[in-house]
Structure 1
Amino acid sequence: MSSHTQSVLEFNSSDADVVLVGADDQKRRFAVHKCILSAASPVFKDMFMLPQAKATNDSLPVVDMVESSKVVFALLQFIYPVPNPVISSLDELVPVLAAAKKLDVDAAIDSLRNKLVISDHLENEPLRVYAIAARFDLQEELRVAAKYTLKKNVLDCPLSEDLKHITAYDYHRLLDLHRRHSRAMQDALGPAANKELAERPSTDVIFRPEFLQNSVSGVLNQCSACPKSALFAYADLLTLKKSIDELPFTV
């Protein structure tokens, strides 16, 4: 990588024509290009059409951002051709997504939407992903996250600050999805599964090996052929699981 390209991607370019400054660190300045920002964001484009009153010592206009320097830096990585910008957690993702939505930076929004629903986030923090998707009106991601919440007891999930930003309607829709899914699955399965399904209405819960093992063990004394029957019934169990998984996930 050439030194010029390196300086551009570090936002310290010698041919920059505007400086962005984060709200938390006036000393950290991002020397960038109006043409690139304008192409990425109609908000920046409109901003640069207005007179720029404040300037640095080298006469470059300065734009004071309300976002932190960390968020500004992350957002610029999505605007400039930085390969695979790293967003390692939901804590990092949310403020960058908020800035991208505010500034209408479509390229950043699309990339962050993909990062929001990576498997690690969905498996470990599905309720939080749902809340973030609801906050920013990301309907496709909201539906994906809603499905993953079925593996959890929503009321036992950690309380997240992201829940402050969603409506009671969106939260109620999720609880209603759990209720409807739980009832549909309990109708399809026996009473042994009902307690589990009442809290976590997902086939991943009741078809996991531990649950199936306990179910088989519970009838050993009643029927010696049951374990063998359960083994030969595995194909039917998979068919049943597929049918249940095809239940609607619409919130």
Structure 2
Amino acid sequence: MKKVYGSADEALDGLLHDGMLIAAGGFGLCGIPELLIDALVKSGVKDLTVASNNAGVDDFGLGKLLATRQIKKMMSSYVGENAEFMRQYLSGELELEFNPQGTLAERMRAGGCGIPGFYTKTGVGTVIAEGKDHKEFDGETYIMEKGIFADLAIVKAWKADETGNCIFRKTARNFNPPAAMCGKVCVMEVEEIVPVGSLDPDHIHLPGIYVHRLVQGEHEKRIEQRTVRKREEA
């Protein structure tokens, strides 16, 4: 089964349709599938629901899809670094399903494991719990959260072999593995594709069984919040 494609456009060919649910990996600007996001912008697909920790920044990452109004709804934990995200939400132009960060990751992981729902204490007694099933276990109240089963997962890895076995680098491991797992189809972009057998099995973070298509490319490594000290006077 061929998994390696020549470009992000080719890797998404035949997979896109209006109104689909996409799970996107990454955290802020770390480990985001920027090439695949650019290809989504170019495709013109619209009315998307995107499950992602946040939406990047205004001119990079998922922020590009917000700028072109291709996203109808976000399922996210954090809105703070993207002014357009906040503007669209506060003006009623964008639907937003807030999720506690750990709950969002677990909803993705649950979907990848075929689990339709689970109970958690996170959010009990807050607006997060409104309209959800409540149940007691050992005298404690829990709310039910549903697993996420996405039409498409777009993720980024540091290195992968030609069958899709992959390694994520440092912080990119937070949302990329569960996002990859919950997609009916997973398309992964990587910095380097290596021959089968060259990765130590003990170092593989996500097995290739979850990955359907691969694309290698050059990536821009942005810093989301640049913090430097003032220059000291001599």
Q: Same fold (TM over 0.5)?
A: no
Give the strand-richer structure, 1 or 2: 2
Give the helix-richer structure, 1 or 2: 1
Structure number with the bigger relative contact order (C-alpha 8 A, sep ≥ 6) is 2
The structure with the larger Rg is 1
